[in-house]
Amino acid sequence: MVTVQHIVKEELIKNPFLVDLLQQDLLNISALAEKLYPKVTRILGRNVKITAISMAIRRIAQQFYKKQMFKWEFPKNLEVSTKSNVYEIAIKKESQLSTLLFNIQKNLIKKAGIFLSVVDGNYETVFLSNQCNKKIIKKMLKNKEITSEQDNLGYLSVNFEPYTKDIPGIYYRITRAFAFNNISIQSFHTIGAEMIILFKKKDFMNAYETLTNLFN
């Protein structure tokens, strides 16, 4: 049997930002009840009191409070590393990756600050390097199926303590902050406890300010 509480719970699960606000005690429950009122009455096929919806929200909120992710605070000594002019190219999964990687590394420009990172997924292999290596890498991949390519990205890197990997919601809190500031993420990688996020050049400074503000 469908009840007011069942409908309210389904709506909150589908709208995680509402759950965020409930967890932080920033949401007016009566206002939320009025917002949910039309849908609740439509599904039930009858009128219900706003107070009944409010009570259902409060009961369900108690379940979410037990999973409070905002009580944990980011360490104050976190350092955000940055790098600009990053070139990213992805190809269809490469079976001969070791040979390909050896040839790319052999031909890269040799000077301080040059890097090459490779992420080998189930369906794609992604190469990250300095923008100055674009022509070299593309030449080495000329016979491969390129699935995506982006120029002049910037990345933010944070080296968390290993224990943070066991704390639910850390990455969500970070990506949530970017979403609120209308910043799109181009790539997201984790290497051990290190987090690396790539952004378009136009969003890079805003992303940096958003992340450092979140940590302070």
Distance of CA 179 to the CA centre of its chain: 9
Query: Regarding predicted confidence, which is higher, 68 or 144?
Result: 144
The span from the CA of 212 to the CA of 59, in Å, is 35
Q: Residues 33-69: pLDDT tens digits?
A: 999 999 999 999 999 999 999 999 988 887 776 555 6
The span from the CA of 106 to the CA of 77, in Å, is 38
Rounded average pLDDT over 130-153: 95
| Confidence check: pLDDT of 25 > 80 | no
DSSP label at 111?
A: S
Query: Regarding predicted confidence, which is higher, 212 or 110?
Result: 212
Q: Residues 78-135: pLDDT tens digits?
A: 899 999 999 999 999 988 899 999 999 999 998 898 999 999 999 999 999 999 999 9
What was the pLDDT predicted at 69?
61
| Confidence check: pLDDT of 143 > 80 | yes
**Helix runs in 15-46, H state only:** 16-23, 29-44
| Confidence check: pLDDT of 29 > 80 | yes
Position 136 confidence tier, pLDDT thresholds 50, 70, 90 = very high
What was the pLDDT predicted at 107?
93
What was the pLDDT predicted at 167?
83
What was the pLDDT predicted at 23?
75
Place of tokens 């009858």: 46
Strand partners, 80: 158
Q: Residues 172-204: pLDDT tens digits?
A: 889 989 998 999 999 999 988 899 999 999 999
| Confidence check: pLDDT of 170 > 80 | yes
Rounded average pLDDT over 131-153: 95
